[in-house]
Amino acid sequence: MITHGNEIKLFSGNSNKELSKAIAKKLNTELADNEVCTFSDGEINVHIKETVRGRDLFIIQSTCNPVNDNLMELLIMIDAAKRASAGRITAVIPYFGYARQDRKARSRDPITAKLVANLITAAGADRVLTMDLHAEQIQGFFDIPVDNLLGGPTLYNYFAKQNNIDVVVAPDLGSVKRSRKLAEKFGVPIAIIDKRRPKANVMEVMSIIGDVKGKRCLMIDDMIDTAGTLCQGAQAIKDAGATEVYAGCTHAVLSGPAVERLKNSAITKLVMLDTVHLPEEKKEKLLGKIEILSVADIFAAAIENVYLDKPMSKLYD
């Protein structure tokens, strides 16, 4: 058990209990006792079953599907802890939902990511700990400290051990920065899929910039939702002469037709992190096609650094 002034307390919502337990195990502690349930009309009720007065609280909750329920759980847990006189509250959000709504793409559009940031702050969070925000500028939406951890190094370490990557492919222009960093670490060239998106979750591949013929390619993205971008991109790479296509992502949201698309895709293997809980039925359908890596050690190290007021910079090196 970590000891430093006031005792540390780890709480978990219902979104990703497995990850919460793994983080607690890495910290050589257990999840604190709390109950999160739902009334018959859908209202969420939270009851903290042990004292938290003056304690350093870390509330672990991804705001994934069902997004609104999990977000409300997080907000209510923060409020309950605040009203119970917790010393400091850190919202640990491995996957931050609503991050794609970070700007006004059209007139009269909301900036929902900013609204969610306001809600978390107003609920009483003193700090946010998250991973691979879809848009890095969301850190500036908060008026409290935000640590945006990186999932890329975990994916890099996995593929580096396999030693089977010749080209890193950016699935869209928004992923170029992330893909270039990874390509530099591998010491391989980068290719880019130039696409246009006529409407949300619909993607049409235009062309591939770079040489993928006869190459083993790796596509990296921060998240996979319906998997349309990834699967169409993988097929385009294959059609351009690539021998194998691998993929990696931090947040495997996998909604709608994603599982069937991935199952029937040209992707040899998809490596994902466990920021979002993947139900057993989805794992079974993708058996042999996916590999899940845990981020428990990264979040455990970050929680310990926050708790002990140690610098976070080593986690970004």
CA atoms within 13 A on the CB side of 274: 20
Question: Which one of 21, 114, 177, 195 is the catalytic residue?
Answer: 195
Q: Is 82 exposed, middle or buried (0-12, 13-18, 19+ CB in 10 A)?
A: middle
**195 annotated active-site:** yes
DSSP letter assigned to residue 269: E
Q: What are the helix (H) ranges across 27-151? A: 67-83, 112-123
Strands 34-38 and 44-48: antiparallel
- Unique residue bearing structure tokens 């900013």: 114
The count of C-alpha atoms lying within 13 angstroms of the C-alpha of 266, restricted to the half-sphere facing its C-beta, is: 22
Strands 190-199 and 167-170 come out as parallel
Q: Which of 285, 251, 284 is nearest to 265 (CA)?
A: 285
The catalytic residues are 195
